[in-house]
Structure 1
């Protein structure tokens, strides 16, 4: 039997809702067909946004959306995506599939979507092929409530009042698709470009995100921080930035091969989960570098691209990155979100890649049909962690698992625990075993549980939803638990994610 000890009196940090953020790039069928179908579509929509997708995301409590990229951001010129749609420029999406981008989804459409979702906005600017003026004028167009050329242009295009930018990313992956820059060169550009991301409304300042490392490129993190923290001027006492990004994708068979989303064995299962758990080492090591410059943790680590990246589904455009989503993805999501929760002192935002029809999506669409993936159901289970306080927890009697390859050992159980403003404790617990259940006893420090509810996402490891069987994997009520004087007792099934709400 494993024991989960919860000290609900020891709060260890605040879990920003933005940790549960999402990412929508102009890539494949994420924006077009997945989110935006146009006002004249027979698919039910509001101002062009799919009603079914919007409602599902609201139910999942999406807190933040990042747009327009990704690699696409550093080739995106925002003026191409405003004004009458028939006059907008068409271009080739050179990064993703070589298809025509007609710019019918642009700035106005993005903010319309976020308003419908009720979520915060994260706009990614163009450093790789854009100018300081272009970025400055975009911020002015979006946020300035006064008389100026860009504010007047916004009004002429039908939106009298400005919108709010919550986060602004100054470039994306500038070590690679965003310009193949050195860390020092990018950092100096960052210092320059961010200067012109103006706070036109001082009551709602924009939080600026600096482009951080790819996976374990600690040299990049060190180089960027060294340059950006060289004698910062007040009031930018924390190095001209509010956040530093980190990108990490799980490729079970490596970057070149990646591996199938649905056809894998037990060895690949554990290898995938081991690689997902590597996120914790990345946070610790990049965080240690950040601590040298920012010991008070005023700069957030922004993991704004994470998730599984497999070989595309057979017969689909390789540049569209469309993949299925199994219980393996559900466990990767559960593990990753628990890690972010437990490092909420440094991790202030994370965006799974991507929201619809691309990589580890929470939603898949096909024409008028829509299905929720196993990953969606895990995000729905975890939604109560948003804006709660992380509390101390640990598991004893936890065994390790592998499939004959000791290099890829993983713990059987993994958890995180929080308490919200109403005093309700949320426990999210993963069983990584493909075959074996585990008896669990939960012990609280003082809490005597009186009101308990729980849900579970559980199926065999290859299970996924299709448009013919949309509820093969779903979130269901979990009632097989016993309330004890100071906790709970239950058996967590193999290959499952369980969430408890305890009062």
Structure 2
């Protein structure tokens, strides 16, 4: 599963008898909306080893750590420039009572995590510990409040505990627990998946509850977070419609969740490794439904919110496979392969195309759960192909989107169904460079791309490529670098810039003048 070296790669491509000839044109003269860096947000739920072991080992652990957070994992996440972390859930949020997670850790109550594996939750990671992680990472906090089993008073008091600079009893309690200055809460979610694990509600009922709870969320001037309503999932736009019409004044966004299942069947989702090409294709096709879901929900928002005050927040997305054999089904552990890297890149390109409304997304999840960035086993750690894709796309954080046209694309087809062969996105980075991302969805067919950049003389491109021989190429603790990015470059010749894009590849390059 070794990544092809550049010289070998060039030989392999030259040996392919025919390429799909595709034209990709970037128009630098018509800059679009900024791609909010929070599109690259992360999600850490109290689920399996996603927090305990994966991130938190405690101050007394032999695994090197800072205030209980393991240094190797935190160091790797800092390299991703993680902009925002969502916590404590997810489904867990609607059974989480914040007072259980403050004060001396040895005196905190032990509960049962009824959503995820039925394991003991000792509340070692609570509000103060989470904000330690946020500050160590240099990121921002998205806190999800408990609407499902909590009360308006409990939620309001948590926000006061975190943000008050007064001498109130709650602020003084925070100080007694070791934090003098208020915590900075960038986003606050009122409940999670109210249509399901958050209460099995109808949208109109949740809208009433949302307005009820939101009324009591008060902070000092300048400390109010952006408030997020818990929206819908999949094909149904009803939640977006109801909430965009009825949510209280001051709402900043409506959430949306969508998971990619190869089979589309929750009872048998498909394997993470060892899958046939038919499931490579179905995974790509399923994940590209995100484009339609976003487009339809954005159309509803444009109708109900023409001032564009509301963001469309895709705060849970990613692949979901059958769990790894022999692991706790409630821990949602799955291997992460080249297929996941391609899925991530395809979704990034979709989010970029809707940057005006898609202002935040969270992949599920950060460590050891579902489509994770990082996998750990006690003291060991490895980076996944999805991690590498996130790192390659860093230049798109807060970049200005640019229009992209893909012409003469050859669709990738299986059994009469098809998906685009090439996905592309472009932006003007904060560094002033023009960045282009390309994804070849076909697992065996390379493409040859003529890259045109309007109003700009181009001498070539340089950046990175992520690909491998096998569709399910993945890193293991024995071979932690079996798949990783390699350098990629191409030079213009005779006024044309041609990029050779191998099968099942993700490429991110800057344009050289």
**Pairwise same-fold verdict (TM > 0.5):** yes
Instruction: Report if aligned partners of 2:91, 2:197 keep a CA contact under 8 Å in 1.
Output: yes
Question: 1:60 touches 1:380 (CA, 8 Å); kept in 2?
Answer: yes
Partner of 1:458: 467
Q: 2:221 aligns with which of 196, 201, 209?
A: 201
Q: Does structure 1 residue 71 correspond to structure 2 residue 91?
A: yes
Distance 1:258 1:320 in 2: 16
Alignment match, 2:423: 414
Q: Secondary structure at the match of 2:393?
A: helix
Which of the numbers 378, 381, 386 marks the counterpart of 1:370?
381
Q: Which residue of 1 aligns with 2:177?
A: 157
Q: How does 1:229-240 map to 2 (within 5 A)?
A: 236=249, 240=250
Do the aligned residues in 1 keep the contact of 2:460 with 2:497 (CA within 8 Å)? Answer: no
What is the distance in 2 between the residues matched to 1:89 and 1:29?
Answer: 20
TM-score by length of 2: 0.94
Please state whether the residue corresponding to 1:11 is helix, strand or coil: coil
Counterpart of 1:85? 105
Unaligned runs of 5+ in 1: none
> Within 1, Cα distance between the matches of 2:495 and 2:205?
56
User: Per-residue displacement from partner, 1:143-175 (whole Å, max 9, x unpaired)?
Assistant: 111110110000000111111000000000011
Q: Residue 23 of structure 1 aligns with which residue?
A: 43
Q: Distance in 1 between matches of 2:179 and 2:496?
A: 54
Per-residue CA shift, 1:245-299, capped at 9, x if unaligned?
A: 0000011111111110002111111110011000010001111111121113210
What displacement does 1:493 show?
Answer: 0.5
1:306 matches 2:317: yes
Secondary structure of the equivalent of 1:341?
Answer: helix
Residue 467 of structure 1 corresponds to 477
Q: Matched residues in 1 for 2:474 and 2:275: separation? A: 13
- Residue 84 of structure 1: CA displacement? 0.2
Q: Secondary structure at the match of 1:478?
A: strand
Greater CA deviation, 482-491 or 167-176?
Answer: 482-491
State the alpha-carbon separation in 2 of the partners of residues 465 and 11 from structure 1: 38
Q: Which residue of 1 aligns with 2:256?
A: 246
Change (3 A) 1:131 1:462: same
Whether 1:60 and 2:80 are equivalent positions in the alignment is yes
CA distance in 1, matches of 2:395, 2:44: 23
Cα contact 1:15–1:390 (8 A) shared by 2: yes
User: Matched residues in 1 for 2:133 and 2:473: separation?
Assistant: 31
Please say if 1:437 is aligned against 2:446.
yes
Query: CA 1:19–1:486 in 2, change beyond 3 Å: closer, same or farther?
Result: farther
1:484 is displaced (CA, Å) by: 4.8
1:121-140 pair list within 5 angstroms:
121-140=141-160
Selected match of 1:280 from 260, 272, 291: 291
Whole-angstrom distance in 2 between the partners of 1:306 and 1:146: 38
Aligned to 1:33: 53
CA deviation vs aligned residue, 1:29-55 (integer Å, no higher than 9, x gap): 000000100001111110000111111
Distance in 1 (CA, whole Å) between partners of 2:504 and 2:342 is 8
CA 278–28 in structure 1, closer or farther in 2 if over 3 Å, else same: same
1:477 correspondence with 2:487: yes
Partner SS, residue 199 of structure 1: coil
1:190 and 2:200 equivalent?
A: no
CA contact (8 A) 1:458 1:496 kept: yes
State the alpha-carbon separation in 2 of the partners of residues 364 and 453 from structure 1: 30
Which whole-Å CA distance do the structure 1 matches of 2:368 and 2:61 have between them?
19
The partner residue of 1:114 within 108, 122, 134 is 134
Q: Check whether the contact 2:160–2:219 (CA below 8 A) recurs between aligned residues.
A: no
- In the alignment of these two chains, the number of paired residues is 490
1:379 matched residue in structure 2: 390
Distance in 2 (alpha carbons) for counterparts of 1:487 and 1:388: 26
8 Å CA contact retained: 1:207, 1:242? yes
2:234 aligned to 212, 215, 225, which one? 215
- Superposed CA deviations along residues 349-369 of structure 1, whole A, max 9, x for unmatched, are 000000000000010001111
In the alignment, structure 1 residue 428 sits paired with structure 2 residue 434: no
- Once residues 493 and 163 of structure 2 are traced to their aligned partners in structure 1, the CA distance between those partners, rounded to angstroms, is 54
CA distance in 1, matches of 2:494, 2:435: 18
| Structure 1 vs Structure 2 CA RMSD | 1.3
Q: Map of 1:252-291 to 2, 5 A cutoff?
A: 252-253=262-263, 254-291=265-302
How far 1:394 moved relative to its partner?
Answer: 1.0
Q: What is the CA-CA distance between 1:12 and the residue it aligns to?
A: 1.4
**TM, length-normalised to structure 1:** 0.95
